[in-house]
Structure 1
Amino acid sequence: MSAHTQGRSKALLWSGVGAGVVGVGGLIAVAVTDLGKADQLASVVGAILAVVGIGLTVWGQFRGGPATPAPTPPAPAPATTITASGTGSVAAGGNIGSVATGNGTAPATAPAAPAPAPARPAPGSVTASGDRSVAAGGDIGSVSTGDA
């Protein structure tokens, strides 16, 4: 909503409040002098305000103003570079549940699948270099890099 539209809305709001205060004051003044006439006047004024309120509601709902623009999609994340070099090295762009880079035996206790990370790590490079090295862009559950 633009500043111009907000200013106009506030002006209309305060105009309506002012008109309501004047109307209530007028009805009180008439009620003090003639209660029967105040009752009739209040009925007529109430009916007129109801019709005006419905008209304003319909006008506000269906007027041909500018549509709200669709939000722009976020920029795509930069590509992640994942490299693994060296004998038995492991690199992963996300979470690693279980890794064994030793003599081919699995770790003593293989954990259950790890819970998903609360947030994806910041994009960037994941590199594992050197013999039996391990790198991950997320959580690592269990790692064995040698003869345990």
Structure 2
Amino acid sequence: MAAQTSGRSKRVLRTGVGVGVLGIGALIAVAVTDLGKADQLASVIGAVLAAVGLGLSLWGQFGSGAAPAPAPPSPAAPTITASGTGAVAVGGSIGSAATGSGTTPAPAPAPTTPPAPARPAPGSVTASGDRSVAAGGDIGTVSTGDA
């Protein structure tokens, strides 16, 4: 994936390329007339450009951007507790639950519409007491006693 650049970054890049092209052109012109002078000039220009490049690198890394926005706090995880003999507590949806002894509830009928996407439980779910059932979502079929 290509990185997006801002208009400011493009201007800085074009300016750097322009300075580089002008510097190379100047060195070629001086080298044609006096090779010794071109050598000295190239050393000075190279040192200056290295210092400018270092400064721009540090500025780009640490100086120009605003501090990133802090991440929003994550919601606390819901507490799901079940206490009592045969108690059932579920943070989401329950298809079928049986809390009695010895019987199995009939399976939930097939839905006529596609099921809704599972939604997270917004808060705590607690089932307290014998054969109690609690769900943070939908409940299909529940049997809480012997039939």
Q: TM-score, normalised by structure 1?
A: 0.50
